[in-house]
Homo-oligomer: A and B are copies of this chain.
Amino acid sequence: MAAPKRLTQHDIAKLAGVSQATVSLVLNGAPTALARIPQETRERVQQVIRTTGYVADPIARRMAKGLNRILGVFTYEPAFPSAQADFFTPFLLGIEEEAQIQNYDLLLLTGAGVGQDRKIFADGNRLRIADGCLVLGREFDRAELTRLVSGDYPFVAIGRREDAGGPVPYVGGDYANGTRALVEKAGALGHSKLAYIGPPGPAESTADRWSGFDGALGNGLELVLHIETVGRAADEILDALFGSGATVAFFVELADAVRVEAAARACGLSIPGDFSAVVLGSHIRAERSHVQFTAFDIPREEMGRQATAMLVRRIESGEPGQQILLTCEPVEGETLGPAKRRT
C-alpha cells in the first residue's frame, strides 16, 4: 500500500460539513472570531477531530504562522550513547519537565552530522523547524555560536559561554564560586598547600573552576602543584602530591579522584587522614564509588528547567535573553578533613 495520506483540515472540513477555514478557526481562532461560531458547529468539528485523531501539520503551521510549539534540543555529542548519557540525562530531565509544563514538545536534532562532527548549521539547518532551541555540549563550536548569536533565531545555551560576537544567553552553574567556597573551606581547616589536578581551560567549565580556585589563593593559601592533564596515572599523581607537600588536592575530574583514592588506599594511606581530596563538581552515579567525595553540587535539572523557561520567554515575548548562573551548593562528603602536619 502507498504511504497513507495525512489527514488535512480539508478532510475534517468535508466530514464536518464546513469549510477548511472554519476548522482552522475552531482549532485556534481568536476569541473574537470564535464568538461567531455557534457552540453546535464547534462541537461537530471537535467531534470529527477527536474521532479521526487529526493534528495540524507542524510544518504547515509553522509556514503559515511561524510557530509550532516545538523546542529543538541540539547536543554537540550524541545524546544517549552510554558515555554521554550520564552527562545529558539530568539536563534532559529538567528540560522535559519544563517543556511539558509549558506545553511544548521536544525535537532532538539528531541528524545534523554524524559522530563528533555535529554541526548546527549542517545541511541548511533544520534547526528552524523548532521555534527555538537549547544547545548543550561540553565544548561549543565558537564560529557557530557567533553565527547563532548574530542571527535572530532564539536559543539558550546550557552552561556558561563566553561572548561570541555578543553575549550568549545561557543558564549555567556558578563553578567559580562553588570552587572558591571549597577552597576557603579547606583554608579554614588549616590547609595551606594546595594541589590542583585539571586543566585551566579552555572550555568555560574548566576555566571557571580554575579562576575560582586561583582567585581564592593568597591569604596563606598557596598552589604547590598543578597537574594540567587529566587521566594521568594515579601513582604518578600520588607521588607528585607527596613530593609537593600538598595537604589537599582539588580534582576537576571525578575519575581522577577515584583512581587516586584507590591508589592511596592500596598504599595504606587514608583520606582524609593522610591528605584531603575535593572534587569540583557533582557527578552522576557518584554513589557508585565507595567514597563520598567532598564536592559541590551542579544543579543540572534546574539548569535544564530554567534554560527551557528562558527559551520559551524569548520565543513568546521576544525577551532578549539573559545570563544566569545557578549557585552550586557544597556537598559535605567525607574526603575533606583538617590539614595534617606532615613529618
Contact = CB atoms under 8 A, between A and B. Distances in A.
A124 B55 contact: yes
A82 B78 contact: no
A342 interface: no
A7 to B, nearest CB: 7
B68 A96 contact: no
30 contacts: A1-B318, A1-B320, A3-B316, A4-B154, A4-B318, A50-B123, A53-B127, A53-B128, A53-B153, A55-B124, A55-B125, A55-B129, A58-B126, A59-B63, A59-B68, A59-B129, A61-B124, A62-B129, A63-B63, A68-B129, A69-B111, A78-B93, A80-B93, A80-B95, A81-B93, A81-B96, A81-B97, A101-B114, A103-B111, A107-B107
A126 B152 contact: no
Interface in A58-87: 58-63, 68-70, 78-82, 85
Given A89-B80, A93-B82, A129-B58, A111 B100 contact: yes
A126 B55 contact: yes
A34 interface: no
A128 B63 contact: no
The quantity of this chain's copies bound in the complex is: 2
Given A3-B315, A105-B126, 18 more contacts: A1-B318, A3-B316, A53-B125, A55-B125, A57-B128, A63-B63, A70-B107, A78-B93, A78-B97, A80-B89, A80-B96, A82-B93, A85-B93, A96-B108, A104-B111, A106-B107, A107-B107, A288-B288
Nearest to A104: B111
Interface size class of A (residues with CB under 8 A): 35 or more
A151 B4 CA distance: 9
A54 interface: yes
Interface of A: 1-4, 6-7, 50, 53-63, 68-70, 78-82, 85, 89-90, 92-93, 95-97, 99-101, 103-111, 114, 121, 123-129, 147, 151-154, 288, 315-316, 318, 320
A283 to B, nearest CB: 14
A128 B54 contact: yes
B106 A3 contact: no
